[in-house]
Each structure stands twice: as structure tokens, then as C-alpha cells.
Amino acid sequence: MGHFARVINGIVDTVIVADQEDIDSGRHGDISQWIQTSYNTRGGVHYTPGTNQPSDNQAKAIRKNYAGPGMTYDAQRDAFIPVKPYPSWILNEQSCTWDPPVQLPANDGQPHPKGGAIGYNWDEENQQWVLNCLPLDD
């Protein structure tokens, strides 16, 4: 079994679990609209299921990203590309994900000395990262 995305006019409509024979039977409609996607692939890297560790077999990393409804399928890149989160973000050609024009601060997600975690939101108008998670009160 595998995951297949139905792509209509370059946009992912739905993703199902099926085997190639089932797709090829036409049971789910026009077989030319179905493209296999890899559930454990993100940014061009295949991860061991249930972990954030790259798997030993990177041949399983197909089409750069696991497909989801609303994503684009770019046939020239043979890649599923997420929806662009902000107009200023730039497509990363290696991972087929979107990069901000300003790098995320290195301490994002790290524990705050007073509790809680340090986190940031992107401020598109000012083209900067803004602290969004304040420390817990003592």
C-alpha cells in the first residue's frame, strides 16, 4: 500500500491510501490524475516512520514533500510544494519548501529561563520575526 494524491490542474485535491494496482484499475477515476507521494518525506528527506531521524534508504524520498490538499504538484520539479505562507517567502529549490527572507532566530523553540518556550511569528508587513511566546509568570 502507498499514498496517492489526486492532482487536478496542478493542485492536490485529495490523498488516499491504495496500491498501484487499485489506482491503475481506474476505480478512483482518471488514472492520470493520481501521483504517488511518500508519507514520511519532508523537504526532500525521507524519515524513519515515527521519528525525526533520516532513514537509511533515501530512495524512498519521492517528490520532495508528502502531498496534502491545496498543495501544488510541479511536474517539472516532480515535487509537491506546500502553499506559500507569505508573499515575501522564497521557494527553496532543494527542498521545495518556502524559506523566509530573514532567517528564524536560532533560539526558536528553546526553553525560556523563566519557563515556557521561546517562539516567533512572522510579521509580513515589517518583514521580521516577532517574539510570540512570553515566559510564564513566576
Q: Could you tell me the end-to-end alpha-carbon distance of the chain, in angstroms, rounded to an integer?
A: 51
- Band (126; pLDDT cuts 50, 70, 90): very high
Q: pLDDT digits over 4-59, tens only?
A: 999 999 999 999 999 999 999 999 999 999 999 999 999 999 999 999 999 999 99
On whether residue 90 sits in a domain, the answer given is no
Q: Return the HEC string of 32-57.
A: HHEEEECCCEECCEEECCCCCCECCC
Residue 108 and residue 137 share a domain: yes
The stretches of the chain forming alpha helices (DSSP H) are 20-24
- Computed over every residue of the chain, the mean pLDDT equals 93
Examine the domain organization and report whether 11 and 79 are in the same domain: yes
Please count the structural domains in the chain: 2
Are 108 and 80 contained in the same domain?
Answer: no
Q: What is the DSSP string of 74-86?
A: ETTTTEEEPPPSS
Same domain as 118, residue 73:
no
Cell numbers given for 82: 506546500
Which of 41, 62, 85 terminates a domain? The answer is: 85
Neighbour tally for 96: CB within 10 Å: 21
CA angle 56, 99, 69 (to 5 degrees): 75
What is the sign, positive or negative, of the torsion defined by CA atoms of 48, 73, 22, 28?
positive
Structural domain range at position 128: 100-138
115, pLDDT greater than 90: no
Q: Which residues contact 41 (CB under 8 A, 6 or more apart)?
A: 47, 60, 61, 62, 63, 64, 65, 66
What share of the chain has pLDDT > 90, as a percent? Answer: 82
Same domain, 77 and 106: no
Beta-bridge mates of residue 2:
18
Whole-prediction pTM = 0.86
